[in-house]
């Protein structure tokens, strides 16, 4: 343990076993170890607050996921792996005790919910094909200890579907808004509320949607104040940011 190592070294200085110049020399390599030390302390703090340990599953082998999942499970009550498809889940579940698979969100997780869930996060999406990304966001926030409100299929071409949810929207402390195609929903939502909006473009669309670039650009150019944006299909990132934001004033 680095802090211990530091202590031992200081004891040697105190006892005279090491002179000051030798100690300075020995500490040359200390800073960076210490950064690591600081970081892990912080990790402990984060864990106490219910942050999940996260594995980005894409491009990893079954063995890699299994091993990391088990290792993280040793010191975290919540572990999640994103971008896991049904076949991978089926292969992994037998080896991962307490693990659960959420097929829409494509997340494999192990979770003991906290005694008290935070409220304040709402996840919206424009069309039914945006639901997997929205669920990835919602479940991520849930695994961070939140109760999440959902409003799906409320795209701007049928405005009444959205306006029907206005009272709910106005209650949220932070909103995740998911949309593909022209990506207009975050602008409309941000114009109706005074809470921060995390916009998630999806790759839903074809042709000039350019696999989600059209929605991404639209969201970055939102004429409404209070909108920030994450990568295409990055439901996890949006849910995580929402989780960080919603903790403010509640922990």
* Given 72, 79, 151, 198, the residue binding its own copies (CB under 8 A): 198
Residues in region 66-125 near its own copies by CB under 8 A: none
126, 185 in Cβ contact below 8 A?
yes
Q: Is 222 in the site for its own copies (CB under 8 A)?
A: yes
**What does the chain come to in residues?**
251
Burial class (CB within 10 angstroms; exposed 0-12, middle 13-18, buried 19+) of 212: buried
63 binds its own copies (CB under 8 A): no
The span from the CA of 56 to the CA of 97, in Å, is 20
33 is a site residue for its own copies (CB under 8 A): yes
**How many chain residues are in contact with its own copies, going by CB under 8 A?**
108
**Taking a C-beta distance cutoff of 8 angstroms, is the pair 158, 209 a contact?**
no
Among 72, 110, 229, 235, binds its own copies (CB under 8 A): 229
Residue of the chain from 81, 126, 137, 139 that contacts its own copies (CB under 8 A): 126
Radius of gyration over alpha carbons of the chain, in Å?
22
In the complex, least distance from residue 158 CB atom to its own copies, rounded to whole angstroms: 6
Residue 58 in the binding site for its own copies (CB under 8 A): yes
Helix residue ranges per DSSP H, the chain: 2-15, 20-27, 30-48, 62-75, 86-92, 131-143, 159-163, 166-171, 185-192, 213-220, 235-247
Kindly indicate which of the ranges 73-81, 88-96, 97-105, 199-207 contains the residues binding its own copies, using the contact rule CB under 8 A: 199-207
Q: Which of 66, 77, 150, 156: binder of its own copies (CB under 8 A)?
A: 156
Q: Helix, strand, coil: what percent of the chain each, to 5? A: 50, 15, 30
In the region spanning residues 168 to 197, those forming contacts with its own copies, defined by CB under 8 A, are 170, 173-174, 181-184, 187-188, 190-192, 194-196
Token pair of 73 as six digits: 């499970």
What counts of helices (H) and strands (E) characterise the chain?
11, 9
| DSSP secondary structure code for residue 51 in this structure | P
Residue 39 binds its own copies, judged by CB under 8 A: yes
- Among positions 3-22, residues that touch its own copies (CB under 8 A) are 3, 6-7, 10-11, 13-14, 16, 20-21
Is residue 141 part of the contact set for its own copies (CB under 8 A)? Answer: no
Query: Of 1, 28, 48, 116, which one interacts with its own copies (CB under 8 A)?
Result: 28
Residue 237 near its own copies by CB under 8 A? yes
| 62 in contact with its own copies (CB under 8 A) | no
> Which of 29/97 has CB closer to its own copies?
29
């Amino acid at each position: 343990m680095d802090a211990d190592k530091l202590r031992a070294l200081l004891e040697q200085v105190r006892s005279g076993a090491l002179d000051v110049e030798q100690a300075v020399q020995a500490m040359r390599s200390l800073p960076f170890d210490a950064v690591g030390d600081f970081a892990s302390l912080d990790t402990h703090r984060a864990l106490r607050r219910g942050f999940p340990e996260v594995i980005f599953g894409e491009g990893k082998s079954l063995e890699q996921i299994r091993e990391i999942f088990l290792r993280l499970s040793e010191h975290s009550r919540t572990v999640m792996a994103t971008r896991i498809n049904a076949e991978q889940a089926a292969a992994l579940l037998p080896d991962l005790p307490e693990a659960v698979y959420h097929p829409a969100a494509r997340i494999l997780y192990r979770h003991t919910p906290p005694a008290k869930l935070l409220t304040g996060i709402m996840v919206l999406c424009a069309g039914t094909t945006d639901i997997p990304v929205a669920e990835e966001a919602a479940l991520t926030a849930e695994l961070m200890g939140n109760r999440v409100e959902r409003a799906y299929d409320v795209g701007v071409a049928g405005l009444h579907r959205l306006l029907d949810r206005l009272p709910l929207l106005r209650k949220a402390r932070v909103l995740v808004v998911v949309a593909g195609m022209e990506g207009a929903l975050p602008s409309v939502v941000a114009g109706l509320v005074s809470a921060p909006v995390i916009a998630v473009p999806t790759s839903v669309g074809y042709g000039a949607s350019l696999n989600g670039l059209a929605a991404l650009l639209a969201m970055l150019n939102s004429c409404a104040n209070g909108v920030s944006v994450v990568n295409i299909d990055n439901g996890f990132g949006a849910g995580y940011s929402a989780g960080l934001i919603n903790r403010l004033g509640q922990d």
